Homo-oligomer: A and B are copies of this chain.
Amino acid sequence: MGRNKYPEETVAKILDAALELFCAQGYEGTSIQDIVDRLDGMTKGAVYHHFKSKEEIFNAAFDRAMAPIVERRRATLGAGNMMGAQKLKRLYAPESVVPQIELWARMHPAADPVKSSRLLAMQYQGSFDESADGYLLPVIEEGIADGSIACACPREAAEAVSLLANLWLLPLFRPLENKGRMLARAQCLAQMAAAVGLDLGNEVLQTTAQIWDVWNRAGW
């Protein structure tokens, strides 16, 4: 076959297949050939025409999947009529978190830290760069500036809360027996956050309950 009129469809197919496989089998557990095999009839040449390495495919796949979530959050936080403290609560309200969870649920990452080590590293780094530095810290600083938040160590609080929210509250890479334990984690996190000046809001428990349901509805 020669060239395709709509190469972006090919790219989309590659990224769809890659995302699913990387989630289910991990980075090292997924070969380029595995991806190619899901691209009815296409070959490795197509893949390496559009992407220069496995690494690039991995990043592109997740960037693409995350893009709508990121955009949504940007829009939510962009509104100028909220104080910092309000925005903080918004960040952990169902309407902000659930779409993200639905994405993760669709992606079905393997509940095995070793198999998912690459994903785990991504989430770990993202907790600092994207969550903490990217939006949580700015919101906290906004809150401090407008007087709605009193936090002595904004950066540290942002990092700790992000890390706990992403790698502990969400049971992405380790199974969690039941809803009760997840709610306990949420409660615990909220208490710890409050101790450093961050009120995550009363909705956190509701949010968590919804997360659990979304998670399990997806067949976990």
Which A residues fall within an 8 A CB radius of B? 28, 113-114, 116-118, 120-122, 124-125, 128, 153, 155-157, 159-160, 163-164, 167-168, 173-174, 181, 184-185, 187-189, 191-196
Main secondary structure of the interface of A (DSSP, over half): helix
Q: How close is A143's CB to chain B, nearest CB, in angstroms?
A: 17
Residues of chain B contacted by A117 (CB below 8 angstroms): 117-118, 120-121
Whether A160 pairs with B189 at a CB distance below 8 angstroms is: yes
Whether B157 pairs with A188 at a CB distance below 8 angstroms is: yes
Q: How close is A12's CB to chain B, nearest CB, in angstroms?
A: 25
Q: For the complex, what is the distance from the CA of A196 to the CA of B188, rounded to whole Å?
A: 7
Number of copies: 2
Whether A121 pairs with B125 at a CB distance below 8 angstroms is: no
Q: Which B residue's beta carbon lies closest to that of A157?
A: B188
9 contacts across the A-B interface (CB closer than 8 A): A113-B125, A120-B124, A121-B121, A156-B185, A156-B188, A160-B168, A163-B167, A191-B195, A195-B195
Query: Which 8 pairs across A and B sit closest by C-beta, in order of nearness?
Result: A195-B195, A117-B121, A156-B188, A192-B192, A113-B121, A117-B117, A113-B125, A153-B188
Partner of A196, one of B122, B159, B173, B191: B191
Known A117-B118, A156-B185, A160-B168; 6 more pairs at CB < 8 Å: A120-B121, A156-B184, A159-B185, A160-B164, A160-B189, A191-B196
